[in-house]
Amino acid sequence: MNKEKEDKLLAKAKQIIEDNREKVAKGYYRLKYHLMAPVGWLNDPNGFIQFDGEYHLCYQFNPVYPADKLLYWGHYKSKDLVSWEELPVALAPSEWYETHGCYSGSAVDNDGTLTFIYTGNVKDEWDNRETYQCLAITEDGVNFQKLGPVIENQPEGYTRHFRDPKVWQKDGSWYMVIGTQTTKLEGRVLLYKSMDLKEWELVGEVAGSNFNNLDDFGYMWECPDLFELDGKDVLLTLPQGLEAQGYLYNNIYQAGYLVGKLNYKTGRMDHGEFRELDRGFDFYAAQTTLDDKGRRIMIAWMGLPEEDQNYAERDQGWIHCMTIPRELRLNAENRLIQNPVEELKQLRRDYLEYRGIEINNQKLELEGISGDVLELIVEFEVGDAEEFGIKLRCSADGKEETIIKYKTEDKILSFDRNKAGLGGGGVRHCLIENDGRLKLHFFIDKSSIEMFVNDGQEVFSARIYPGQDSKRIKFFAQGSKVLINKIQKWKL
C-alpha cells in the first residue's frame, strides 16, 4: 500500500472538510434530515450494510468539487437510520489500481470482518480506462486496509466499462453482480462466484440489452443490486441510453428493476418487464441492504449524473443528497412497493390534523398547513372531480409553486416543478389507477420533495429550489369538487 500518498489524500480531504464545513452548513438549501456530504460532491450510496448493530453508509465523495474529479468514499454510520454520525473518509484513491477514483461498490460481513468490494478506476493520459475490482477490510470500522484487486480484467466481449460490484452470500458461496458493457455496446449485468472473496469465477450473464426479453435496452448498465424479496429475485439496475417513450424514461439515465428468478448455475435471470423505480426527476444508483429485522432497505442518490446545472447548491460549495431510507416489499403483481422506514417517525413534531375538507372549484389554504421541512399525508376521495391536487412551497406572490395534480379521466398524476425556483424545471407523470381514493405522502426538506403514492405504489423524488419564504401549501380542485378525508401534518 502507498501509505504516504493515502495519508496525504486523507489529510487533504479532512482539511478541505474542516475549512469549508461551517460556510457550507449555512446555505438555505442544506437539507435537515437527508444525508449529504459535509462539503463538496456526493453521488452513489456505497457499502450500505448493517454490521454489529450499526448501519454503515458510504458514498461517492469528491471533496474538491468542482476543481477536480477524483472520487473517495465518504462514510456515515447510524444506529437507527435517522441520526447519522460522520466518520473519517473511508477510502482515498492512493493506489496504482485506483488512480482516478475509488468507484462504487458494496459491503459484506465476512465472518465478522467488515469488507468493502469496490471498483478501482484508472485512466491513462489518452483517457483509456482500466477497472479493477478491489477489496478493503477494517478492524475498527473506521480505518480501512486495502487488499488490492481481486478481478483485474473484464472477460472477452466486454469493454472496460466494468464496475460497481454488489456482493452477497448464499448457501456458503459469495456471489457478485457487476455492471458492464459488451463490445457491441450493450449494457449487461454479469454474475461471478467465489468461495473466499478473493478468487472469482464468471458464472454468466444475468440480464441486459438484447438479452432475454429486452431489445435495444441501453449501451451500459451501471450499479446492479440483486436480492431476494418476498420469494422472488429482484435486480435493480441503471440502463444508460434509453430513449424517452411518452412519460417513461424522461431522465438522462434510468433507474429501474426486474423481477423474476435467478439461475445460480447459469447466471441467467428469467424476468418480467423493466419498471422504473421512481417517477420523479432525481433518483439514481439505489443500493439496498438486509437488516436484522428482515427488512430490505434502499437508499438512493437523489440526483443524476452530468446535469450539475440543475442543482442550485453547486455554487455554495456542495452538491447532492441521498433519499430517505425506504423499505422495499414486492406485491402480488411483482411491483416494488417503497415506504419510508418507520424509524423516521422519530422525527415527527407538532401534529396537526384535518378531516372532511371539501374543495369545490377553488383553492384552499388551511391554518397551520405550510412549511419547508415537514411530513404531510393527504387522503383524497376522488368522487366526480375532474382535476385536483396540491401546490407545495408556494410564494405569497404566487410566482413560485410546485404542483401535484391528478386528472381523473386519464388517470395521470403529475409533478410539475417548472415554477419551483432555480434548478431544472420540468414535469413528470405517472398512471395511477383510479380506485376512488388517492393517498399522497410527502417528505419535504428545504430543497427536496419525496412523494409516496397510495402507500408506496409509486414514488416521485425531486430536488426543488424555491425561496426560503415560499412555504405555503394550497389544495385545489378545478371544474368540480373533491373531498379530502384526512390531512396529517408533522414538522420534522
Q: Which residues are catalytic?
A: 44
According to the binding rule CB under 6 A, does residue 60 interact with ligand FRU? yes
Give yes or no for residue 71 binding ligand FRU (CB under 6 A): yes
* Among the listed residues 415, 421, 488, 490, the one whose alpha carbon sits nearest the alpha carbon of residue 453: 415
> Based on CB atoms, which residue is closest to ligand FRU, 164 or 458?
164
End-to-end CA distance of the chain: 45
140-159 positions binding ligand FRU, by CB under 6 A = none
Q: What are the counts of helices (DSSP H) followed by strands (DSSP E) for the chain?
A: 1, 34
Neighbour-count burial of 34, counting CB atoms closer than 10 A to its CB (0-12 exposed, 13-18 middle, 19+ buried) = buried
Cβ closer to ligand FRU: 305 or 425?
305
Residue 163 interacts with ligand FRU (CB under 6 A)? yes
Chain centroid to Cα 142, Å, comes to 24
**Residue number, 69 or 261, with CB nearest to ligand FRU:** 69
> Which lies closer to ligand FRU via its Cβ, residue 119 or residue 338?
119
Binding of ligand FRU at residue 43 (CB under 6 A)?
Answer: yes
Distance, in Å, from the CA atom of 174 to the CA atom of 195, rounded to the nearest integer, reads 6
Residue 434: C-alpha distances to residues 362, 391, 409, 488 (Å): 22, 21, 9, 22
Q: Which is nearer to ligand FRU, 16 or 42 (CB)?
A: 42
* Number of residues binding to ligand FRU, judged by CB under 6 A: 14
At closest approach, how far in Å is the CB of 164 from ligand FRU?
5
Exactly one of 95, 98, 130, 164 binds ligand FRU (CB under 6 A); which one? 164
The binder of ligand FRU chosen from 48, 59, 103, 257 (CB under 6 A): 103
Q: Looking at 89, 223, 235, 299, which residue binds ligand FRU (CB under 6 A)?
A: 223
Q: How far is the CB of 479 from ligand FRU (least distance, A)?
A: 43
Output the smallest distance, CB 130 to ligand FRU, in A: 14
Round to whole Å and give the CA distance between 402 and 347. 24
305 binds ligand FRU (CB under 6 A): yes
CA nearest neighbour of 446 among 351, 342, 333, 316: 316
Taking CB under 6 A as the criterion, the residue among 94, 119, 237, 289 binding ligand FRU is: 119
Q: Please state the closest distance from residue 240 (CB atom) to ligand FRU, in A.
A: 9
Residues forming beta bridges with residue 174, ordered by sequence position: 169, 194
C-beta of 238 vs 258, nearer to ligand FRU = 238
Check residue 222 for interaction with ligand FRU (CB under 6 A): yes
Burial class (CB in 10 A: 0-12, 13-18, 19+), 52: exposed
Spatial separation of the C-alpha atoms in residues 161 and 127, rounded to whole Å: 13
User: Does 104 sit near ligand FRU (CB under 6 A)?
Assistant: yes
Expressed in percent and rounded to 5, the helix, strand and coil fractions of the chain are 10, 55, 40
Nearer Cβ to ligand FRU (38/456): 38
Please list the residues that pair with 404 across neighbouring strands.
390, 415
Looking up cell 452470500 gives 169
Tell me the DSSP string of 182-229. Answer: BTTS-EEEEEEEESSSSSEEEEEEEEETTBTTB-S--SEEEEEEEEEE
- Decide if 352 contacts 368 (C-beta within 8 A): yes
Is the CB of 118 or the CB of 380 nearer to ligand FRU?
118
Backbone angles phi, psi at 313, to 5 degrees: -75, -10
Out of 17, 107, 285, 359, the only residue in the binding site for ligand FRU (CB under 6 A) is 285
- CA atoms of 216 and 197, how far apart (whole Å): 33
Closest CB 285 distance from ligand FRU, rounded Å: 5
Whole-number minimum distance, CB 189 to ligand FRU, in Å?
Answer: 12
User: Which residues would be at the binding site for ligand FRU (CB under 6 A)?
Assistant: 43-44, 60, 71, 103-104, 119, 163-164, 222-223, 284-285, 305
